[in-house]
Amino acid sequence: MIKTRLAPSPTGFMHIGTARTALFNWLYAKHTNGKFCLRIEDTDRNPERYFPEAVDVIYNELKWLGLNWDELEESQYARSSRHIEVANELIKKGCAYYCYLTPEELEVLREQSRKTGLPIKSPYRDSTTPPPSNIKPVIRLKMPTSGVSILNDIVQGEIKVENQLIEDLILVRSDGTPTYNLSVVVDDHDMGINYVIRGADHINNTFKQMQIIKAMGWELPTYGHVPLILGQDGSKMSKRHGATTTEDYRKSGYLPKALFNYLLKLGWSHGDDEIISIEDAIKWFDAHDILKSPAKFDHTKLTALNALYIRNSDDEELLNITLPFIEEKVQHQLSQNEKSLLLKGIPYMKERAKTLLDIANMGIIYIIDETSNFTPTFDEKSIKTLNSDKNKIDEIIKDFEEKDIPWTKEGINDYFKEKANQYDMKMGDLVAPPRVAITFSTISPPLFEAMVIIGKQETIRRLKTYR
RNA sequence: GUUCCCAUCGUCUAGUGGUCUAGGACACAAGAUUCUCAUUCUUGCAACACGGGUUCAAAUCCCGUUGGGAAUGCCA
C-alpha cells in the first residue's frame, strides 16, 4: 500500500507551494487507494519561530481545501528521544561521530571549502583526534568519500551526485536535539512512508538522508521532487510576491475548488482538460506524470477559474458560503428575509463576481432598507450621473407612485422603454441616474430585476433618498 | 565559487521522430448580443532560447552555449 505524507513545519501560514505538495500527496494516495499522512515538524523550538497556534493553521487550511489525512503525527518534537536513539545507534555502528568544531573553526573551514569546492571535513571524523574537554559536541554522519549516489526520482528522473561532494551532516545539535534531516528519515521510516513527494528544494537533502537510511539498513522510499512554484519574476515564490498563502485566497473569497483545480494544473495536466473535478483528479492523477519544469504562479488565471466556479455554483450553496463575507460587511447576522432577497439576486451576481467578496459587495443592494444602518458611498462618476438629471428622477418617482406599473421585469422595462421614446433618448441613458440611486453605482447587476426583488416601495424610497 | 535542476505563445500547458503552415486555457484586441457592468458567441494577436550533431525526417534523441532557478545552516 502506498503511504504518502505532508510534513509541514508550523510557521503560522500555509504557503501555496505547501498546499500543492499536499494536494499531490493526497491525490496520489487517493488514486492508489493508499494513505495520506500528516506530520507536524515542530522540532524548531526557537521562540522566534515557534508558536503552538500555528499548528491549527495547518489543520484548518488543509481541511478548507478538502485534503483530509488518514494518519496524524501531531508532534515530531515529541519523538525526539527516538531520533536520538537512532543517532546513538549510528555512532555504535561507526557511521556517525562526535564533532567538536567551534563556530569559529567552522567558519574558517567553510571559507576553505568554498575555495576547494569540497565540503568541510571535520578532523574529528578520525577518532585519532583527541576531543577538547570544554566543548559540547554535535553528532555528524560519516558520509562516504568515494563513489556516486544515485537518486531515481519519479519526477526529476535519475540524479547523480558524487559522494565526496556531500558534507558530513549534523544529526544531533550540541544541545542534544535532533536536526531535521535525522528526524524526517526516522519518522518516515517509523510511519511506514514509502512515497516521499516534496519540494525540489529538498533534492540536496535527499542525498544526505539516503545515507542515513542506508546506514540503518532501512528500505529507501520512492522519491518525487516537485518543482518549486515561482513568482512572476521567476524566483521562488515568497511573501514579497504578494498573496502566497491559502489563507490569503480563502479570505479574499476564493473557492477551495477553484484553488484545488488551479494548483492541480500547475505542474500537471491531463491533455487539454482545464476544468477537472475532484473525482476525475483522483481518477487521473499519477505522481509519475508531474512535470519537472517549475511554473510561475498566475493570479489572473486563478481568478478566472474562481469566477468560473462561482458562475457554475448552485445558487443556494453559493449563498451559504458567501454568508460570512456579507455578514462581515453588514455587521450583523442576516435574517431569513434578507437571505431570501439575496438568494433571488444570486443568479445576477454570480455571473459578474470574480470572488465571494464581489458578491458581498454587490449583495448589499438587495437587502438594505430604511431600517438598515448603511450609508452608501458614491464615487465621482456616480455623483455626476445622479446630478445630471434630477427632474427625470422626480418624474419617475411620480410615475411609480401614481401609475399602475406592473412590478415585473417586463413591466418596468416597458415603462422605461416608453419613457425613453418619449424623450427620444437611449434607454441606457435614461436609466443611468435611477441606477445610481437604487444600486449606488453606475455599474450594477440588472436594474429592473433588482427593482423587482427589493419591491416598489423600497425602490421609491431609494430614489427619494439618494436623488 | 561549487553542486543539482529547468528551457513550446506574456502565463499555465498539449505535444514522446513524420498527422505541427505547433493545439487548448488565461490574459490582451476587435465584433455581435445588451438597461450599465458582466455573461455568452465569433474572430484576431502570439511560442518550439541559440548552435552543432544523429536521422530520409526533429519541438520531440545527443552534445555544447546562453538564460533562469534551487541548494550550499547546530532552519525545516
Nearest-CA residue relative to C1' of B70: A201
What is the nearest nucleotide to A9, using C1' and CA?
B76
A9-13, A188-192, A413-417: least confident range? A9-13
What is the nearest nucleotide to A275, using C1' and CA?
B25
| Chain B positions with any atom < 7 A from a protein CB | 1-8, 10-15, 23-27, 35-40, 68-76
Phi, psi (5° rounding) for residue A370?
-65, -20
* Average pLDDT of chain A, as a whole number: 94
Protein CA A20 to sugar C1' B13 (Å): 17
Contact A385, A433 (CB under 8 A): yes
Cell numbers for A47: 521562540
Nearest-CA residue relative to C1' of B26: A301
Residue carrying the nine cell digits 508531474:
A290
Domains by residue range for chain A, with CATH: 3-71+229-303 (3.40.50.620), 78-226 (3.40.50.620), 313-367 (1.10.8), 380-466 (1.10.10.350)
Give the pLDDT band of residue A175 (cuts 50, 70, 90): very high
Non-local (6+) Cβ contacts of A308 within 8 A are A258, A275
How far is Cα A34 from Cα A221, in angstroms, rounded to an integer? 15
CA A435 from chain centre, in angstroms, equals 38
What is the nearest nucleotide to A296, using C1' and CA?
B11
Query: Active site residue: A93, A239, A301, A417, which one?
Result: A239
Contact A209, A274 (CB under 8 A): no
pLDDT digits (tens, 9 = 90+) for A146-174: 999 999 999 999 999 999 999 999 999 99
What is the nearest nucleotide to A175, using C1' and CA?
B74
How far is Cα A343 from Cα A310, in angstroms, rounded to an integer? 14
Query: Which ipTM value was assigned to this complex?
Result: 0.95
pLDDT digits (tens, 9 = 90+) for A278-325: 999 999 999 999 999 999 999 999 999 999 999 999 999 999 999 999
pTM for the predicted model, two decimal places: 0.94
Nearest-CA residue relative to C1' of B1: A114
Phi, psi (5° rounding) for residue A7?
-125, 70
Nearest-CA residue relative to C1' of B4: A204
Protein CA A210 to sugar C1' B52 (Å): 38
Q: What is the CA radius of gyration of chain A?
A: 31
> What is the rounded (10 degree) CA torsion for A180, A186, A190, A194?
80
Active-site annotation holds for A257: no
